[in-house]
């Protein structure tokens, strides 16, 4: 059995079969898991094809402008095959990232990380492939894995991913804080962003190119967001004027009740504060001389998890983001980084609970079913626990490191990054 698990052929076969299974669930499974792709995304593309009207250019849009690229590309083989083409694009991107993650079979010790990703995909379910986030996950994973050898290419890929869905900005922030190449990373990311903005402006976007930022501020509390569990339980226990409703403008289910509006307004600044706190702790750790190999994985996990825990939007596909910092943490653990076993296990449980919530039993969540509220609340509490673990990991690295003025050059521990030759982490 161990030999089978170590076999690269078996691993790749499992990876492909997992995608075929999830593809079938997306196309034919219950719960309409691919509704956003085949209805919403395709509708936006049809607007361009039929009416010459492009969201993000001719109107405000909830996504960064590059999100439209895979949506248009999925029309390559016609309207009827739109969903299948989308799934094929995601699979090709995942194959490329998976090959990098497993070193294309050249390093058997990486196979365990590959098996972890296969398990994560199966436990998360069809949502792992059926949203725009599925495009950004393999891009972000490739960027993180390329960081050691090709930091500029990594920055380029991560910047592009950020202009598809904003969350990879958390990874870029962690990298800028952690590694010595920070100014080159910033230069590439900023240049890439400017090029994208200029092209959009030339296409006539005006301020619409940045509308994805302002589009989020007016949203209410989406029911799956961790903070929304409070109002779901209030609705369950019969608190007056507390209920779940469908927002026609945002096309999502949200909660209403006493204090919900204030909480929705507070979540965005609270998210900003959480991110600043995590970044501040990361900067302090770098100034203490914590090597990038040790700091970057938990710092990236803390920032990505903060984007979920303190977000008033809680779509189930957000959990797919966790694959990137955890897989990266597992890879660095093989190179002498801190153990990532606990967050790896936590994220697998989070994925399983997310699939239990969506898509099959989602209607029970909408009706504030008691059992499903327990499942959703448990998932959200585990997300908070994951954030705490990552935050504590960063704090422990800071506390364990000796202050720079207490370390003499002849006794300092090596700070090179084992994954390549460029030197780690102290600010220049």
Question: Residue 277 to residues 122, 284, 303, 306: CA-CA distances in angstroms?
Answer: 34, 11, 10, 10
The more confident residue out of 212 and 302 is 302
State the pLDDT at residue 91.
98
According to DSSP H, which parts of 203-254 are helical? Answer: 211-214, 229-236
Q: With cut-offs at 50, 70 and 90, classify the pLDDT of residue 367.
A: very high
Separation of alpha carbons 34 and 32, rounded Å: 6
Separation of alpha carbons 172 and 158, rounded Å: 7
Tell me the residue length of the chain: 428
Q: Which of 279, 291, 303 is nearest to 148 (CA)?
A: 291
Neighbours of 276 (CB within 10 A): 11
What are 164's two structure tokens? 């598809």
What are the beta bridge partners of residue 244? 255
pLDDT at residue 419 greater than cutoff 60: no
- Say whether the peptide bond before residue 359 is cis (omega within 30 degrees of 0): yes
pLDDT (tens digit per residue) in 111-163: 999 999 999 999 999 999 999 999 999 999 999 999 989 999 999 999 999 99
Q: With cut-offs at 50, 70 and 90, classify the pLDDT of residue 406.
A: very low
Contact predicate 300/276, CB 8 Å: no
What are 211's two structure tokens? 């509308």
Question: Residue 425 to residues 15, 33, 82, 181, 417: CA-CA distances in angstroms?
Answer: 35, 43, 45, 8, 9
State the pLDDT at residue 422.
35
19 CB-near residues (< 8 Å, 6+ apart): 87, 90, 91, 94, 121, 129
The more confident residue out of 32 and 12 is 12
29 CB-near residues (< 8 Å, 6+ apart): 126, 359, 360
Separation of alpha carbons 63 and 45, rounded Å: 14
Where in 259-368 does DSSP place strands (E)?
Answer: none
pTM over 0.95: no
Give me the residue spans of the domains in the chain. 2-401
State the pLDDT at residue 252.
86
Separation of alpha carbons 293 and 150, rounded Å: 15
Separation of alpha carbons 114 and 145, rounded Å: 13
Separation of alpha carbons 274 and 310, rounded Å: 8
pLDDT (tens digit per residue) in 14-54: 999 999 999 999 999 988 899 899 999 999 999 999 999 99
Q: Which of 427, 178, 179, 167 is nearest to 281 (CA)?
A: 178
What are the beta bridge partners of residue 252? 247
What are 251's two structure tokens? 């096309």
Q: With cut-offs at 50, 70 and 90, classify the pLDDT of residue 58.
A: very high
Helix (H) or strand (E) holding 263: helix 260-287
pLDDT at residue 337 greater than cutoff 90: no
Mean pLDDT score across all residues of the chain? 90
Residue 426 backbone zone (phi > 0: left; psi -120 to 50: alpha; other: beta): beta
Residue 78 backbone zone (phi > 0: left; psi -120 to 50: alpha; other: beta): left
The more confident residue out of 405 and 284 is 284
DSSP 8-state symbol, 29: S
């Amino acid at each position: 059995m161990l030999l089978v698990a170590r076999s690269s052929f078996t691993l790749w076969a499992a990876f492909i079969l997992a995608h075929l299974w999830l593809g079938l669930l997306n196309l034919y499974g219950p719960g309409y898991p691919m509704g956003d792709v085949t209805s919403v995304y395709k509708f936006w593309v049809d607007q361009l094809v039929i009416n010459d009207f492009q969201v993000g250019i001719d109107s405000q849009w909830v996504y960064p402008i590059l999100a439209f690229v895979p949506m248009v590309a999925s029309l390559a083989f016609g309207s009827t095959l739109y969903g299948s083409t989308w799934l094929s694009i995601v699979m090709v991107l995942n194959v490329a990232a998976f090959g990098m993650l497993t070193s294309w079979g050249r390093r058997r010790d990486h196979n365990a990380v590959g098996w972890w990703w296969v398990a994560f995909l199966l436990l998360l379910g069809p949502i792992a492939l059926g949203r725009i986030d599925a495009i950004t996950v393999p891009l972000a994973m490739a960027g993180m894995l390329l960081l050691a050898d090709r930091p500029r290419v990594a920055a380029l890929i991560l910047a592009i991913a950020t202009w598809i869905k904003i969350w990879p900005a958390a990874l870029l922030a962690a990298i800028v804080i952690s590694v010595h190449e920070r100014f080159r990373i910033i230069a590439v990311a900023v240049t890439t962003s400017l090029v994208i903005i200029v092209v959009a402006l030339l296409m006539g976007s005006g301020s619409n190119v940045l509308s994805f930022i302002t589009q989020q501020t007016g949203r209410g509390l989406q029911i799956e967001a961790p903070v929304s569990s409070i109002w779901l339980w209030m609705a369950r226990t019969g608190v007056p004027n507390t209920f779940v409703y469908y927002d026609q403008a945002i096309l999502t289910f949200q909660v209403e009740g006493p204090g919900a509006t204030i909480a929705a307004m507070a979540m965005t600044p609270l998210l900003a504060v959480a991110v600043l706190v995590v970044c501040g702790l990361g900067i302090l750790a770098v100034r203490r001389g914590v090597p990038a190999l040790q700091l970057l994985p938990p710092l990236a996990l803390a920032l990505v998890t903060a984007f979920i825990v303190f977000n008033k939007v809680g779509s189930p596909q957000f959990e797919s983001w966790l694959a990137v910092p955890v897989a990266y943490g597992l890879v660095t653990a093989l190179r002498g980084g801190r153990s990532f076993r606990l967050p790896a296990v936590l994220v697998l449980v989070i994925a399983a609970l997310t699939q239990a919530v969506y898509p099959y039993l989602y209607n029970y969540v909408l009706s504030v079913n008691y059992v499903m509220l327990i499942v959703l609340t448990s998932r959200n509490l585990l997300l908070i626990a994951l954030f705490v673990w990552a935050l504590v990991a960063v704090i422990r690295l800071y506390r364990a490191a000796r202050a720079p003025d207490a370390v003499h050059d002849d006794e300092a521990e090596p700070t090179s990054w084992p994954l390549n030759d460029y030197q780690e982490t102290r600010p220049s």
